[in-house]
Structure 1
Amino acid sequence: MCATRTTTRKVLFIGDTSHWSRLAAAHLRDVFGHVSLVLWDHGDPPPRVHETWHGDHIFCFKADLLLKPETLARAAVSALNFHPATPQFRGVGGYDFVLREGGTEFGATSHHIVPRIDAGPIVKVNRFPIAPGETAASLSARTAAHCLVLFYEVIGMIAQGRELPASEEQWGERLYTRAMLHKLRTTIRRRPS
Structure 2
Amino acid sequence: MTIMTQSTSSLLFLGKAEDPDCARALEYCQQHFLHVTYCLGKWGDPLPEDIRNWEGDYIISYLSRWVVPESLLNRAKIAAINFHPASPEYPGIGCNNFALYEDAKEYGSTCHHMAGKVDTGRIIKVRRFPVHPEDGVEEILQRTYENQMALFFEIAELMAAGKELPVSTEIWTRPPFSRKQFDELFRITPDMSADEVRRRVRAISYKQWQPYVEIHGYRFEYVGGK
Whichever of the two has the greater Rg, that structure is 2
Equivalent residue, structure 1, for 2:11 = 11
Matched residue pairs, number?
191
Q: Which has the higher contact order (CA 8 A, sep 6+)?
A: 1
Query: Within 5 Å, which residues of 2 pair with 1:23-172?
Result: 23-172=24-173
Equivalent residue, structure 1, for 2:179 = 178
Query: TM-score, normalising length from structure 1?
Result: 0.91
Partner of 2:186: helix, strand, or coil? helix
CA drift of 1:164 comes to 1.2
C-alpha RMSD of matched pairs (Å): 1.7
Cα deviations by residue, 1:149-189 (Å, 9 ceiling, x for unpaired):
10100011112222111111010223111222122134441
Provide closer, same or farther for how the CA distance between residues 21 and 135 of structure 1 changes in structure 2, counting only shifts above 3 A: same
Counterpart CA distance in 1 for 2:212 and 2:141 is 22
Give the letter aligned to residue 184 of structure 1: L
Counterpart CA distance in 1 for 2:46 and 2:74 is 24
Counterpart CA distance in 2 for 1:64 and 1:105 is 25
Counterpart CA distance in 1 for 2:117 and 2:146 is 26
Residue 190 (str. 1) matches residue 191 (str. 2)? no
Unaligned runs of 5+ in 2: 189-200, 202-210, 214-221
Provide closer, same or farther for how the CA distance between residues 177 and 114 of structure 1 changes in structure 2, counting only shifts above 3 A: same
Provide closer, same or farther for how the CA distance between residues 186 and 24 of structure 1 changes in structure 2, counting only shifts above 3 A: farther
CA drift of 1:111 comes to 0.5
More off after superposition, 107-116 vs 36-45: 36-45
Contact 1:38 1:49 survives alignment (8 Å): no
Identity between Structure 1 and Structure 2 (%): 32
More off after superposition, 115-124 vs 139-148: 139-148
Provide closer, same or farther for how the CA distance between residues 132 and 182 of structure 1 changes in structure 2, counting only shifts above 3 A: same
